Each structure stands twice: as structure tokens, then as C-alpha cells.
């Protein structure tokens, strides 16, 4: 129960990687604050399931793509020990067709929200104990069809992590990123050619499958622990070896 007494805030925390990260932190004693935006049913289902397993959970509905809603969300939060920036959203399409709306949406929800939420979280963290982990993807530096805007926002996330890591080191706050390969989550449905892409990803991965959300969550949880105290400003690739093939 290494996270007993810790409060973990997870954006996009009621589905996919965020949900599994919350489950694992909660099982180890953390109290959870799960942010979500659109899917009330999934949020309530997650809360009910976690509470049945004696995990303390609070839900906060907020569109973190809007700075004013981030401010409102943090008015409800007094303390943060662990901040997981997991929420992701964006427009999928070729680079030559990405417009102002698609670009801004991806950057606002993914990169800007990470920075703003980290700024607010740090105000609520104790020195020498805070942990920040962001979720990125291989699309930050590798070509994925249709992933232009999201991929660029993920690259920005990794850059923000490095800057935060240096500036927050004096407070003893660890800041890192987990870069995930393809994961079996609802987000895959936004790719029109997903069946072809999955075949390609599976063929490129030594284990001949794509990841489960809990396999990414395991690494995030490790980075939130004191065992990862000497890891700072890093982007840890968790892709089953796909990127080396």
C-alpha cells in the first residue's frame, strides 16, 4: 500500500489507460480524483466499480481544453500528490487538410492542458514528494497516418516534461512521460483504416500483438513511486519493442 495517504489526479481517468492507472494506484492505497468530460455513463461505472473494491474516488467533469474549466476544476481540489496527464483528444486527418480548429483542439486538450494542470497541481503538492507523469505516444516522432495534429501535441508534451523536470527538481518533484505504442482502447476507433493499421502494428511488434491498457498503467504507476526517484525528465517508451523493428 505504498500510495496510502496520497491523492492522485488523473485527467481522462474513467476510461482506457487512465482508468487502469487509477485502479492500480487505488489498489495501492491512493485516493483518486478522476477527471472526464463527455461520457457520464463510463464515469459512473468506473466510480461504482472502484468503490466496490474499497478505492476512494471523486469525479470531476471538466473540459480541460478550456482554461476556465481547468481553473474551476482545481477550485474543488485542495491537495495533489500525483498528477497524471492522460486525457487526449484531436482531429484525425492528413497534414495537408488539418485546419485551425483541428490543430487548436489537439494542442489545447493535449499539450496546453498538461501545462496548465501541472501548474495548478504543483501549487497543491508538498516539496520532495510530488509526482507528475504525462502520457505520450510514438506518434510524437514516428509517422502514423492521420495523426498529424495529435502527434505534434504529443511532441509538445514531451518537451514540456523536460522543462518542468528541470524547473521542479529544486522542489523534489519528479516529472516524466510514458510514450505508449498502440493500445487496445476506444481511441482506435477514430482511425478509418484501423484494421489495416492493427495488422501492420502487430506484424512490427516482436510479441505479435498490441498493448493492453494495464500494461501502460504499470509503468505509469512505477514512475509515481519512490522507486523511480532518480528518473527525471525522461520519456519512457512502452511499446513491446515495436519502435526498434
Active site residue 154: yes
Distance CA 48, CA 231 (A): 34
66, 154, 189, 204: the catalytic one is 154
Report CA 57 to chain centroid distance, whole Å: 18
Please identify which residue in the block is written with the cell numbers 495488422. 199
Identified catalytic residue from 36, 89, 114, 147: 147
Distance CA 203, CA 198 (A): 8
From the DSSP assignment, how many helices (H) and strands (E) are in the chain? 8, 7
Q: Does residue 126 have an active-site annotation?
A: no
Bridge partners of 60, per DSSP, are 35
DSSP string, 151-168: HHHHHHHHHHHHHHHHHH
Alpha-carbon distance of 37 to 14, in angstroms, equals 10
Number of residues that make up the chain = 245
Identify whether the C-beta of residue 82 lies closer than 8 Å to the C-beta of residue 3: yes
Host H or E run for residue 111:
none
**Contact between 144 and 193 (Cβ < 8 Å):** no
210 with 11: CB under 8 angstroms?
Answer: no
Cell of 223: 514512475
Catalytic residues: 147, 154
Amino acid at each position: 500500500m505504498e500510495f496510502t495517504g496520497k491523492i492522485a489526479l488523473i485527467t481522462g481517468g474513467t476510461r482506457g489507460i487512465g482508468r487502469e492507472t487509477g485502479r492500480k494506484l487505488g489498489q495501492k492505497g491512493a485516493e483518486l480524483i478522476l477527471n472526464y468530460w463527455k461520457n457520464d455513463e463510463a464515469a459512473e461505472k468506473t466510480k461504482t466499480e472502484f468503490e466496490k473494491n474499497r478505492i476512494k474516488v471523486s469525479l470531476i467533469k471538466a473540459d480541460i481544453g478550456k482554461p476556465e474549466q481547468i481553473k474551476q476544476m482545481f477550485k474543488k481540489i485542495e491537495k495533489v500528490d500525483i498528477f497524471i496527464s492522460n486525457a487526449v483528444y484531436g482531429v484525425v486527418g492528413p497534414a495537408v487538410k488539418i485546419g485551425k480548429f483541428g490543430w487548436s483542439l489537439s494542442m489545447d486538450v493535449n499539450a496546453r492542458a498538461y501545462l496548465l494542470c501541472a501548474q495548478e497541481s504543483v501549487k497543491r503538492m508538498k516539496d520532495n514528494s510530488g509526482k507528475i507523469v504525462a502520457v505520450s505516444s510514438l506518434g510524437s516522432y514516428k509517422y502514423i497516418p492521420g495523426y498529424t495534429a495529435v502527434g505534434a501535441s504529443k511532441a509538445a508534451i514531451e518537451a514540456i516534461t523536460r522543462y518542468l523536470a528541470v524547473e521542479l527538481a529544486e522542489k523534489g518533484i519528479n516529472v516524466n512521460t510514458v510514450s505508449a505504442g498502440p493500445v487496445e482502447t476506444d481511441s482506435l476507433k477514430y482511425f478509418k483504416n484501423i484494421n489495416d493499421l492493427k495488422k501492420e502494428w502487430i506484424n512490427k511488434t516482436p510479441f505479435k500483438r498490441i498493448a493492453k491498457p494495464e500494461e501502460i498503467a504499470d509503468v505509469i504507476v512505477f514512475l509515481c513511486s519512490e522507486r523511480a526517484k532518480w528518473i527525471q525528465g525522461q520519456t519512457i517508451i512502452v511499446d513491446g519493442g515495436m519502435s526498434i523493428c
